[in-house]
């Protein structure tokens, strides 16, 4: 087994860890529900998207993937963005290849760009893929917030596809799922769209010890105690996907230089060995060892310039040090702290996600930022 540190995993990657989100997302999409997967970076959103894409295709679905970062950035015009989205859909669905998208686009000159997108769904996509269920998976949705124009109309188009189901049953065949590092409130400039209030939020959580057990297979060639070694790794990562894969990879890379994995050893010895790995390979001079970038991403998100930057750091300080439980609230500083990935909400309260984060973003680090 090869561990993959960073990037999305291939559909058949042996180190892919199935979570409840895999089942929840596929089931909800098969039931025709609009779904959204919003969480911090490097939690496995795109890997989940890839697995869902291939799983649904095996079930007979027509699936397309749209990467919002590839469609347009801060300089994109509405024309470039909407036309780029339709071009990517056209490329992603082979059944549309014979359709003359360019001519059709010119024929819609009297319509606004959102209206053209809506017309495309109703007049082109559904008739061309007749009798086939269609799922469009949209990744990196937060990049829409960087566009120089409002995106409310885009979400209104998606909402209209669900509203039309009562009068045009064919729309039951069309469904969407969106993925990103954001919240419904951030995407809706005025108020949360019914697209989200009536849609299905899919929780993508860290690996549980049970879910992570298949990762022990990759450790087995290097130690007679792969499950003990994995358990010690999880004590440090608490199942955070990126860190868990990285620490597993560090462990097998270090094993040829260490006798500890080549003989029967006690659990305390394994624990001590993993602690040494964490301190030497992750904590020591972490800014220089953070490759692929992970900890810097959390730091940059935490320090993101905004009106509530100081409140965000003060809140984190409370979570780290307060003897009392700190409640998760709808406040912007709490939301941004959660999206950084540094903390997690459990039973309505915030806690630092794992010991690695707690030791890097410690008291000294907080004081240096205030």
d(CA 272, CA 242): 22
H or E element, residue 54 = helix 45-58
Per-residue burial over 113-150, b = 16 or more CB atoms within 10 Å of its CB, e = otherwise: bbebbbbbbbebbbeebeeebbbbbbbbbbbbeebeee
Question: What's the pLDDT score for residue 161?
Answer: 97
* Angle between helical axes of 226-237 and 267-278 (0-180°, round to 10): 40
Question: What's the pLDDT score for residue 284?
Answer: 96
Q: Any idea which residue has 């963005």 for tokens?
A: 81
Q: Any idea which residue has 């409140």 for tokens?
A: 311
* CA separation, residue 135 to residues 81, 286, 314 (Å): 20, 41, 42
Q: Which two tokens stand for residue 211?
A: 């879910």
- Domain 20-201 belongs in CATH node 1.20.1090.10: no
d(CA 6, CA 136): 24
CA atoms within 13 A on the CB side of 12: 0
pLDDT mean for each 10 residues of the chain (370 residues): 90 94 98 98 97 97 96 90 96 93 96 97 96 97 93 94 96 98 85 82 98 96 92 98 97 73 74 95 96 96 86 96 94 95 96 98 94
Question: What's the pLDDT score for residue 307?
Answer: 77
d(CA 308, CA 301): 12
Question: What's the pLDDT score for residue 191?
Answer: 57
Q: What burial class does residue 58 get, using C-beta atoms within 10 Å of its C-beta: 0-12 exposed, 13-18 middle, 19+ buried?
A: exposed
CA atoms within 13 A on the CB side of 348: 1
Question: What's the pLDDT score for residue 256?
Answer: 64
Q: Which residues contact 248 (CB under 8 A, 6 or more apart)?
A: 3, 15, 215, 218, 219, 230, 233
CA atoms within 13 A on the CB side of 52: 35
d(CA 278, CA 333): 30
Task: Please tell me the pTM assigned to this model.
Answer: 0.94
Question: What's the pLDDT score for residue 259?
Answer: 53
Q: Which two tokens stand for residue 157?
A: 């188009």
């Amino acid at each position: 087994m090869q561990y993959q540190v960073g990037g999305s995993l291939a559909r058949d990657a042996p180190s892919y860890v199935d979570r409840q989100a895999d089942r929840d997302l596929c089931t909800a999409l098969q039931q025709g529900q609009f779904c959204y997967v919003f969480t911090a970076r490097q939690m496995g959103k795109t890997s989940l998207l890839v697995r869902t894409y291939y799983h649904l295709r095996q079930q007979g679905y027509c699936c397309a993937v749209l990467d919002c970062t590839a469609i347009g950035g801060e300089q994109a015009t509405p024309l470039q963005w909407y036309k780029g989205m339709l071009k990517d859909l056209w490329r992603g669905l082979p059944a549309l290849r014979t359709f003359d998208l360019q001519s059709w686009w010119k024929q819609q000159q009297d319509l606004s760009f959102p209206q053209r997108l809506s017309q495309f769904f109703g007049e082109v996509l559904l008739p061309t893929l007749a009798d086939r269920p269609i799922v469009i998976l949209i990744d990196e949705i937060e990049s829409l917030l960087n566009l120089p124009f409002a995106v409310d109309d885009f979400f209104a188009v998606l909402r209209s596809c669900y509203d039309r189901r009562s009068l045009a049953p064919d729309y039951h065949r069309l469904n969407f799922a969106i993925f990103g590092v954001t919240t419904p409130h951030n995407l809706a400039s005025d108020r949360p769209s019914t697209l989200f209030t009536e849609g299905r939020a899919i929780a993508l959580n860290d690996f549980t010890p049970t879910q992570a057990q298949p990762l022990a297979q990759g450790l087995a060639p290097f130690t007679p105690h792969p499950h003990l070694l994995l358990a010690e790794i999880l004590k440090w990562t608490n199942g955070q996907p990126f860190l868990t894969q990285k620490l597993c990879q560090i462990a097998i890379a270090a094993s040829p230089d260490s006798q500890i994995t080549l003989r029967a050893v006690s659990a305390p010895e394994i624990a001590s060995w993993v602690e040494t790995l964490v301190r030497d390979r992750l904590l020591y001079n972490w800014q220089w060892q953070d490759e692929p970038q992970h900890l810097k991403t959390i730091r940059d998100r935490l320090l993101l310039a905004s009106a509530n930057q100081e409140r965000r750091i003060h809140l984190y300080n409370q979570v780290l040090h307060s003897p009392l439980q700190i409640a998760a609230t709808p406040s912007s500083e709490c939301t941004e702290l959660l999206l950084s990935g540094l903390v997690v909400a459990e039973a309505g309260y915030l806690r630092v996600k794992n010991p690695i984060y707690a030791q890097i973003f410690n008291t000294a680090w907080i004081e240096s930022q205030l």
